[in-house]
A and B are shown apart, each in its own frame.
Chain A
Amino acid sequence: DAKTTQPPSMDCAEGRAANLPCNHSTISGNEYVYWYRQIHSQGPQYIIHGLKNNETNEMASLIITEDRKSSTLILPHATLRDTAVYYCIVRVANADGNKLVFGAGTILRVKS
């Protein structure tokens, strides 16, 4: 699996959009970008994933650059409950047992 690079931490004001970047310059053509988050003392939670096109669901939007070497997770209106560690992971979907290889992630602090 390709490696990803994320900033160690970010702050965001409550109610504002949180934009979390991820670099994955060695991503392969069949690798998806997945985002998970982990709220303190809980297990990781799936947020969203995508291959080439931008994706949106009820939790977030995922913007993938045209060359696929980087992506941004957008939480449109961050709340205090969005304070968590956010993990960007790239892997081939439905292969290698679907296992995830986590990095250190980005600690997002949403402040009032």
Chain B
Amino acid sequence: DTGVSQNPRHKITKRGQNVTFRCDPISEHNRLYWYRQTLGQGPEFLTYFQNEAQLEKSRLLSDRFSAERPKGSFSTLEIQRTEQGDSAMYLCASSLSAGGGTGELFFGEGSRLTVL
């Protein structure tokens, strides 16, 4: 299967610890997105990359959050000094940029974070 892959699928951590999630997009996709989803809500946009450039960041992405896509392939999302309010599902998606495809986003299965 060459879909979007996310690791780890589940992470339990104590408040104040740092966590990092990894996303491997579909190989030919140059855009990569991070979303956060809490229970009963739709996914909320956090940020997106085109190749290695981070082109947009949501106000939801506080200073404790940082995302990178160093070689334009996989991406990492790091949360420093985690808080209980960070508990959520973190979803990654990828797509082709303008001019290719339907603009469809392909999502991974997400990384669930629980902060105790």
Contacts and interface: CB of A to CB of B under 8 A. Distances in A.
A97 B41 contact: no
B4 A43 contact: yes
Contacts, number: 65
Nearest to A32: B103
B2 interface: no
A97 B99 contact: no
Does more than half of chain A's interface fall in helix, strand or loop, or is it mixed?
loop
B103 A98 contact: yes
28 contacts: A32-B103, A41-B109, A43-B107, A43-B108, A44-B91, A44-B93, A44-B107, A46-B104, A49-B102, A49-B103, A49-B104, A85-B42, A94-B99, A94-B103, A97-B31, A97-B48, A97-B56, A98-B31, A98-B103, A99-B45, A99-B48, A100-B43, A100-B105, A101-B45, A102-B35, A102-B42, A102-B43, A105-B42
Interface of A: 32, 34, 36, 41-46, 49, 85, 87, 93-95, 97-105
Interface of B: 4, 31, 33, 35, 40-45, 48, 50, 55-56, 91, 93, 95, 97-99, 102-110
Given A100-B43, A101-B45, 15 more contacts: A42-B109, A42-B110, A43-B93, A43-B108, A44-B93, A46-B106, A49-B103, A49-B104, A93-B103, A94-B99, A98-B31, A99-B56, A100-B45, A102-B35, A104-B41
